[in-house]
Amino acid sequence: MGGAKTDLELIKNGKRIDGRKFDELRPIKIEVGVLKRADGSCFMEWGKNKVLAAVYGPRECFPKHTQNSYKAKLTYRYNMAPFSVDDRKRPGPDRRSTEISKVSREALEKVIFLEYFPRTAINVFVEVLQADAGTRCVALTAASVALADAGIPMRDVIVACAAGKVEDEIVLDLCQEEDNFGSADLPVAISPRTGQIHLMQMDGILDEEEFKKAFDMATKGCLEVHEMQKKALREKYEKIGEVYGNE
Amino acid sequence: METSEIVWEIKKDSIRKMIQSGKRSDGRALDEYRKMEFLENYVPKAQGSCLVKLGDTQVLVGIKMDVGEPYADSPDRGNLSTSCELVPLASPDFSAGPPDEESIETARVVDRGIRESKMIDFEKLCITEGEKVWTVLVDIHVLDHDGNLIDAASIAGVKALLNAYLPKLEDDKLIYKERGDKLPVREKPVSSTFASIGGKNLLDPSYEEEMVMDSKFIIVTTEDGKICAIQKSGSGPHKREDIEGMVETAIRRGKEVRKQF
């Protein structure tokens, strides 16, 4: 967390700086199948975040020595566009994006039936076009939808959402100002079907009670976003149904 | 697939079965930590250092101090930079070259524990506001990898910072041979790593246990029993009640470990 001092009033009259309630998500829009060349894709707007996810595969795995004879090799690339943040971000992977890519790939590894596609590769690419706090959650949520869109067999469509602490309140889905000047951030990814946790990170300071409260709130946020994921996927296939007839 | 991975695939079942019955191959209880040894000031040329032995794992951390420009969003505060080298002499799995995922994750989780616990008083590391501040460089050097690198690196880092000092600064020149003030520190973060294997959560996993684990969960706690960093690492999912149990254990263990400081 930034933890820097600020004159901003992050919480005023029981409302947050952007007017939200403590347990309220930012506005979310999910579009499925937005890229022509990818096997599956998803565009997501979450608050001011704009994130594009694409899935390729299962396809031939290169370089060949990285093939696994028992399962598909999953890769996940989280990348921020240089213009996505206030100061230009130097292009290419840095330490932060390498870490995010690692934990996000791991979050998906036990969800996808990788064992169905030995010796192949499934590649997930996520581009953050505009960033406004919580990009790793938006990226993973969009990647999950893109995987479903690619028709890759999965145990569930996982979903991510963060909760955190701003001044003395536990709040859902931190925006940029809250992320910069708040005191804790807890991104969580769950499998809604099993309730199990596939990604968890935390920075900042929380006591045990606050942690449980933030955990609860993030889980509820995840379930709310999951409904939107399902709706977006259904909408795409309803449209296809209209074109080809609904029998 | 490398040969070593196939060997582990074969060993996996027997090790996991043992753990299911509550036993570990080195005879420890599931929540038992390996013996820890510290060699402080191991490298006197560094401004602070500590070699930690955690069972057969050995990690050396050295602190160097430098003068640099502050970041635009913190003109009155010093900087912290943590790096980790998994040097090839430490394990047959390591090779020379640019840092890979594992070393980046190790460095970033150790960094998060130090930074978020507010261990270092960065405001005292400001020399001229907006122009010149001290930069604390934490370098993690892994010497022998027998599991749980993050806890070993974290404790070595914290210990090294506790005995670190600033070099002398005279007319903009750094004199590394002369000692200045002690590095201003005010907190002792403690990292606790658990390996999740078939639903059991083991404290302080060995290399063998890490090779067969489903996933790893790292919790860093502060002196007043709060959490300052969490990292789930590895692909296996966790149950909510397991995470709450690990948090409780980590807070309790943090208090015990700090007594050894």
Indicate yes or no: CB of A202 within 8 angstroms of CB of B233.
no
Mean pLDDT along residues A7-24: 93
- For position B2, what pLDDT does the model report? 67
Contact between chains at A196 and B228 (C-beta distance less than 8 A) = no
Q: Is B182 left (phi over 0), alpha (psi -120 to 50) or beta?
A: beta
CB nearest A69 (choices: B1, B226, B234):
B1
Q: Which of B108, B229, B235 sits opposite A109 (nearest CB)?
A: B235
Type of residue at A73 = K
Q: How many CB atoms lie within 10 A of CB B49?
A: 24
Tell me if ipTM is over 0.85: yes
Contact B177, B65 (CB under 8 A): no
Q: Which of A69, A197, A215 sits opposite B232 (nearest CB)?
A: A197
Instruction: Spell out the domains of chain B, with CATH numbers in brackets.
Output: 14-259 (3.30.230.70)
Share of chain A above pLDDT 70, in %: 97
Tell me the pLDDT tens digit for each residue of B73-90.
899 999 999 999 999 999
Q: Average the pLDDT over B198-209 and give the result.
A: 95
| Dihedral in degrees, nearest 10, Cα atoms B7, B8, B14, B16 | -170
User: Domains in chain A, start-ordered, CATH in brackets?
Assistant: 17-241 (3.30.230.70)
- Kindly report, residue by residue over A70-120, the tens digit of the pLDDT: 999 999 999 999 999 999 999 999 999 999 999 999 999 999 999 999 999
Asked if pLDDT for residue B172 goes beyond 60, the answer is: yes
Contact between B140 and B84 under an 8 Å Cβ cutoff? The reply is: yes
Across the interface, of B1, B117, B227, the residue whose CB is closest to A202 is B227
- Could A203 and B227 be called an inter-chain contact, meaning their C-beta atoms sit closer than 8 Å? no
| Confidence bin at A244 (pLDDT 50/70/90) | confident
Q: Which of B109, B98, B70, B86 is nearest to B189 (CA)?
A: B109
Global pTM reads 0.93
> What strands lie across the sheet with A28-32, from one edge to the other?
A28-32, A40-46, A49-60, A120-130, A73-80
In contact, B96 and B88? CB cutoff 8 Å: yes
Taking CA–CA distances from B73, the nearest residue in chain A reads A4
What's the pLDDT tens digit per position in A28-77?
Answer: 999 999 999 999 999 999 999 999 999 999 999 999 999 999 999 999 99
Alpha-carbon separation of residue A61 from A56, A57, A102 (angstroms): 11, 9, 19
Per DSSP, the three-state class of A31 is strand
At residue A7, the pLDDT reads: 79
| Chain B contact set for A191 (CB, 8 A) | 237
The pLDDT assigned to A223 comes to 98
A→B interface, C-beta within 8 Å: 1-4, 67-70, 87, 95-96, 98-99, 101-103, 106-107, 109-110, 180, 186, 191, 194-208, 211-212, 215, 219
- Rounded Cα distance between A226 and A194, Å, is 13
